[in-house]
Amino acid sequence: MLQQAFNGLVGGAFYALLALGLSVIFGMLRVVNFAHGSFYMLGAFGAYVLLDSLGLNFWVALVTVPLLLGAAGMLVERVFVRRLTRLDPLYGFLFTFGLALILQDAVKHRYGVQSQPYPRPSALSGSLDLGLFDYPAYQVFVLAVSLLTCAATWLILTRTRVGTIVRAATERPELTRALGIDVGRWVAPVFGFGVALAGLAGVLAAPMRAVNPLMGADLIITVFAVVVIGGLGSIFGSVTAGFAIGLITALGDLYVPALSQTLVFVVMAAVLLWRPAGLFGREEAAL
């Protein structure tokens, strides 16, 4: 049971990283980034390609792939998303959805649909005695990286000047601009940051999960549910709901395996009925 709970937290680590990126992007841009799952998949493929064709190991990938994807994300924001922000939000959905399909099919075209192998980094191949049970060192590492990243993001948002500006622009973009603050120049970096988080999650997933073009599409639906449960645009809500949903699905696997895939959506429906803005969302944030 405890072991399964730990599995759940590790799964939650991925939900939390992805939901965090989605939330940061949504907060600042009011765009639901449907391509988020594809960026996660590209993160995993990035790690695979670095190893396979350049011989660069996991640790190199862990640093460079999120940076490269973050830069690509900024470019996507500058070239495409920015042009859509003045239009109906529907155009943002359509664009990111189309981008998701294009990225997914491009990778499928090049590498096929079969899963690519990616070895665990040798330093993390053993297992750790966590007192109650032994646990693979790699999974412990994933959990730690995710928690640290979420904590660091939280600190940036609450303890730095740019964090204050991003929070201000998230809550009241017009008022922030009326104060003479150039919100526009922070939009691309924030989008890039969210994409980089997805890339980081992808690199972390490569040694644990099958690296294939559909890995993002499979995961992202659950992540959307996580974001809705936590409250769209709520940073704290996304992370908390990410870990909670990880736990719930893992324990669901154990006790009601038939329901484990639907459990997330049952929780989502219940939360929406009870608190339409999500557990940590505010009604006005939806405006």
Partner 1 sequence: MGAPATPPPVLTARSLVKDFRGFRAVDGVDLDVADGAVHALVGPNGAGKTTLFHLLTGFHRPTAGRIHVGGRDLTGKSPEQVARHGVARSFQTTSLFPQMTPREHLELALQAGTTLGWRFWRSDRALRRFTGRALDLLDQVGLAAHADEPAGALAYGRKRALELALALALDPRVLLLDEPTAGMGTEDLTRTIELIQRIRAGRTVVMVEHNMSVVAALADRVTVLQAGQVLVEGPYAEVRRDPRVISAYLGDAHAAH
Residues contributing to the site for partner 1 (CB under 8 A):
158-165, 167-168, 171-172, 174-175, 177-184, 282, 284
How far apart are CB 175 and partner 1 at their closest, in Å? 5
Give the relative orientation of helices 137-159 and 2-29 as an angle to the nearest 10 degrees.
30
Nearby residues of 52 by Cβ (< 8 Å), 6 or more positions away: 116
**Of 134 and 283, which CB lies nearer to partner 1 in the complex structure?**
283
Residue in 63, 92, 57 with CA at minimum distance from that of residue 76: 92
How far apart are CB 161 and partner 1 at their closest, in Å? 5
Nearby residues of 18 by Cβ (< 8 Å), 6 or more positions away: 36, 37, 40, 197, 198, 201, 219, 220, 223, 226, 242
Residue in 239, 219, 159, 156 with CA at minimum distance from that of residue 190: 156
How far apart are CB 224 and partner 1 at their closest, in Å? 25
**Of 102 and 175, which CB lies nearer to partner 1 in the complex structure?**
175
How far apart are CB 152 and partner 1 at their closest, in Å? 12
How far apart are CB 148 and partner 1 at their closest, in Å? 17
What does each C-alpha distance from 227 to 147, 204, 256 come to in angstroms?
A: 17, 20, 24
**Of 183 and 195, which CB lies nearer to partner 1 in the complex structure?**
183
How far apart are CB 195 and partner 1 at their closest, in Å? 18
**Of 106 and 152, which CB lies nearer to partner 1 in the complex structure?**
152
Query: Is the sign of the CA dihedral 10, 13, 14, 19 positive or negative?
Result: positive
Question: What is the C-alpha separation between 275 and 24, in angstroms, rounded?
Answer: 21
**Of 160 and 262, which CB lies nearer to partner 1 in the complex structure?**
160
**Of 110 and 172, which CB lies nearer to partner 1 in the complex structure?**
172
